[in-house]
């Protein structure tokens, strides 16, 4: 399948690493913010065609599918454009700025019978399915802690008075949409949409958040979420039950899943060593398109929507309001 990629940042580098492991994926075109950047990225990976307009890339008829890795605020308009053109679309997380935009994209995919996939790496990772299949080991779940904190390489620039894109509210950026999306995706992917949400965040003077915490309530247990772009932490996550605990080494790219039995303290390793993360996402997309499907089995539309309904409510409670929000 011939792909075009939009964006020339480090995330697109990860996509290219995954694409190299999928025989049926051929990247034939790249679109950047300038033709110079697009050509430079193309030379780096041997991509034959470069554009600085995604409309021109679409109209070239060179591509059969598209991967979008641009600022969050542009996800909705660019994804809409390609869906309306009938071009299968893989959009990086978050799929859009809020749940209303996500619903519009899902409706657009259905209307045009065109495949749409959100790039939530952990939900495609085989270790996530292993985790889901082994939840019964802990018995009755009593508490869940999901953490993802990473000191941003752009935070020092913000502190020095610059205005990096990472912390610009008008681009629908910030800690919740960059890191919080992973722990919310893990939570909703495992347990479904929460019954109740309680959230707070630390906001910068740009209106974007730099850290946040939430409690998501389910029938028998609460899930605590913590995430930050202004500090580092051990990102081990845990699911604790009456019979033991499951440990996940990291929420965004799970490499190791362990079970510790409460009575004996015995530790059992359950995970596998995964391949390049994007290879699973790309393979899923190609396989589903072959079946004439319009959504992923790993992240179906209802899961994407539940994730973004949760994220939007977390932001609403925390006072994180984007220009495209209606609250």
273 pLDDT higher than 90: no
Both 128 and 229 in one domain: the answer is yes
- What's the domain range around 91? 2-119
- Residue 96 sits in a domain whose CATH number is 3.40.50.720
Domain tally for the chain? 2
Both 141 and 201 in one domain: the answer is yes
**pLDDT digits over 285-319, tens only?**
999 999 999 999 999 999 999 999 999 999 999 99
Nearest to 257 by CA among 93, 111, 137: 137
Both 198 and 210 in one domain: the answer is yes
Query: What gap in Å lies between CA 258 and CA 264, rounded to an integer?
Result: 14
Both 242 and 199 in one domain: the answer is yes
**pLDDT digits over 68-90, tens only?**
999 999 999 999 999 999 999 99
Query: What gap in Å lies between CA 209 and CA 155, rounded to an integer?
Result: 12
**pLDDT digits over 48-70, tens only?**
999 999 999 999 999 999 999 99
Element (H, E) at 103: helix 99-111
Query: What gap in Å lies between CA 243 and CA 262, rounded to an integer?
Result: 5
Q: pLDDT averaged over the chain? A: 98
Whether omega before 94 lies within 30 degrees of 0, making that bond cis, reads yes
Both 22 and 134 in one domain: the answer is no
Both 87 and 158 in one domain: the answer is no
- Among the candidates 82, 100, 119, a domain finishes at 119
- Residue 182 sits in a domain whose CATH number is 3.30.360.10
308 alpha-carbon distance from chain centroid: 11
**pLDDT digits over 234-251, tens only?**
989 999 999 999 999 999
In a domain, 300, yes or no: no
DSSP code of 134?
T
Both 21 and 49 in one domain: the answer is yes
- Among the candidates 97, 119, 141, a domain finishes at 119
Tell me what pLDDT residue 20 has.
98
Both 132 and 267 in one domain: the answer is yes
276 alpha-carbon distance from chain centroid: 15
Strands 116-119 and 89-92: parallel
DSSP code of 54?
H
Tell me what pLDDT residue 306 has.
99
Tell me what pLDDT residue 274 has.
85
For the question of whether the overall pTM of this predicted structure is more than 0.75, the answer is yes
Tell me what pLDDT residue 68 has.
99
Strands 89-92 and 141-149: unpaired
Residue carrying the six token digits 């490499």: 255
- What's the length of the chain? 327
Query: What gap in Å lies between CA 291 and CA 58, rounded to an integer?
Result: 23
**pLDDT digits over 180-210, tens only?**
999 999 999 999 999 999 999 999 999 999 9
* CB burial readout 266-301, b (16+ within 10 A) else e: eeeebbeebebbbbbbbbbbbebbeeeebbbebbeb
In the numeric block, which tokens belong to residue 275? 């391949």
In the numeric block, which tokens belong to residue 132? 């889901």
**pLDDT digits over 114-145, tens only?**
999 999 999 999 999 999 999 999 999 999 99
In a domain, 22, yes or no: yes
């Amino acid at each position: 399948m011939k792909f075009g990629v939009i964006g020339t940042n480090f995330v697109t580098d990860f996509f290219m690493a995954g694409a190299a492991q999928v025989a049926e994926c051929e990247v034939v075109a790249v679109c950047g913010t300038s033709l110079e950047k697009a050509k430079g990225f193309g030379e780096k990976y041997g991509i034959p065609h470069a554009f600085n307009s995604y409309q021109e890339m679409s109209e070239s008829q060179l591509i059969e599918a598209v991967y979008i890795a641009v600022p969050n605020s542009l996800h909705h308009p660019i994804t809409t454009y390609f869906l309306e053109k009938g071009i299968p679309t893989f959009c990086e997380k978050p799929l859009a700025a809020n749940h209303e935009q996500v619903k519009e994209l899902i409706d657009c995919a259905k209307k045009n019978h065109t495949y749409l996939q959100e790039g939530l790496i952990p939900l495609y990772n085989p270790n996530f399915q292993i985790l889901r299949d082994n939840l019964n080991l802990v018995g009755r779940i009593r508490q869940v802690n999901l953490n993802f904190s990473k000191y941003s390489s752009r935070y020092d620039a913000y502190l020095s008075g610059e205005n990096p894109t990472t912390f610009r509210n008008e681009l629908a950026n910030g800690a919740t949409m960059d890191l919080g999306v992973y722990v919310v995706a893990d939570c909703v992917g495992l347990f479904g949409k929460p019954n109740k949400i309680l959230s707070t965040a630390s906001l910068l003077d740009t209106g974007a958040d730099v850290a946040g915490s939430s409690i998501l309530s389910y029938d028998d247990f609460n899930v605590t979420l913590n995430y930050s772009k202004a500090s580092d932490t051990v990102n081990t996550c845990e699911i604790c039950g009456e019979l033991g605990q499951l440990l996940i080494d990291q929420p965004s790219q799970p490499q190791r899943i362990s079970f510790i039995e409460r009575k004996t303290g015995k530790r059992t390793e359950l995970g596998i060593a995964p391949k390049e993360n994007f290879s699973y996402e790309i393979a899923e997309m190609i396989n589903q398109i072959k079946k004439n499907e319009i959504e992923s089995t790993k992240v179906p539309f209802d899961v994407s929507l539940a994730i973004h309904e949760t994220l939007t409510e977390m932001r609403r409670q925390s006072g994180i309001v984007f220009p495209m929000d209606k609250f």
